[in-house]
Structure 1
Amino acid sequence: MRNAFVPFTGGMVLAADYSQLELRVLAHLSKDRRLLQVLNGGADVFRCIAAEWRSIELETVDDTLRQQAKQMCYGIIYGMGAKSLGEQMGIEEDDAAAYIESFKERYTGIHRFLKETVRSCVKKGFVQTLLGRRRYLPNITNTNTYTRTHVCS
């Protein structure tokens, strides 16, 4: 796909990788002390999270465990439930639920921030960016779970 983009004569195509951007923004917004320490520590973020999550030494975290930690983090951040997380990680729903709970217990600032964001959205009917742009979610209080959780653009 990259070959489809050709720079003008004398120009160049610049690619940027914003390493763990969502986690970094979340750490800033949630002010979660533990996540900020991990992000500022200089080591591989997901290996550190996996080591802490499984209570093992950082050097013993393999690629599979790192990937599971990454799936868990992003799944929780984006509101994935235990059933979906379990399917994605290839584990039982009960185990996924336990992982979610242990993550919430460790990263209390994230848990608090996410709960407050949802509470505010239910009250106001929208979420808002740092610069004030609003995203209205008119079905946020709908009693039908499918309707409430599926956003149409």
Structure 2
Amino acid sequence: MSTCRSGGCISREASPSATISPPQVPLFDGALRLSVNAFAIDDGHEITLIDTGSSNAWHPTMGLLPQALSEARIAVDRIRTVAFTHTHLDHIHGLIRADGRDGFPQLSRLLVPRAELDMFRSVARLSRFHDERNLWTLDSS
């Protein structure tokens, strides 16, 4: 079973040169609303999470993944694998909760795209995950 959960959203002012017209994309108070999502794959034994959101590293309306997982009755201690689609801050910072604790205390495998490993390792906030023996890389092919 898989579940999509929202980690929050941000609003950005709509650009007059945007290629998407307002009838195609709803505006909220004149701004585009962009959501940040994570996907949970449950094999009945453990859960793999695709992306982790931004925690408190970006925008105040972000960092809602822990609540969203709780609402979906997904226990964070069942999440053993996290895979990143890419290493932008709104995908990786949820490894650490706003209070500084590990977001997924039973994490045993962290999958990072090989082409983005250096970028991931450059994020000081996530330094405790940089040289983990459980850090794996993914090829893009």
Q: TM-score, normalised by structure 1?
A: 0.28
> Which of the two has greater strand per residue?
2
* RCO comparison, higher one (Cα < 8 Å, 6+): 2
Query: Which structure has the bigger radius of gyration?
Result: 1
Of Structure 1 and Structure 2, the greater helix share is in: 1
